[in-house]
Amino acid sequence: QVQLIESGGGTVQAGGSLRLSCAASGRTFSTYDVAWFHQAPGKGRDFVAAISSSDSPWYADSAGGRFTVARDNAKNTAYLQMNGLRPEDTGVYYCAAVESSTVIFRHDHDYTYWGQGAQVTVSS
């Protein structure tokens, strides 16, 4: 079992930055792939970025060089650094984890464990 707890959401003006954290319980965090999903108001969850157990990052086109995903296995924590935020980035951001595999999953139904979500609001 893995429990994920997110932090770092908030309200910023367009062009601003936020860093989300996803702290995991359990001793096997390093064997999990971790992803971040964005859910805009009234929409489904969209893939934003992921980092594999081997520390390889993957990004959606929408992340567009603005976002950086990272992990610190010693702290059992994954991060999403978001720069150049836009109003359309507003929504709830979820971290999710799944046991590592040979591919990075980009669909929410492929992930086993989920954080509670962090609200990000970007004002224009």
List strand residue ranges (DSSP E) for the chain, in order: 4-7, 10-13, 18-24, 32-39, 45-51, 57-59, 67-72, 77-82, 91-99, 113-114, 118-123
pLDDT of residue 64: 74
Residue with tokens 């978001």: 82
pLDDT of residue 1: 83
The fraction of the chain above a pLDDT of 70, given in percent, is: 100
d(CA 17, CA 63): 13
Per-residue pLDDT tens digits for 22-81 = 999 977 899 999 999 999 999 999 999 999 999 999 999 989 799 999 999 999 999 999
And the tokens for 120? 């990000």
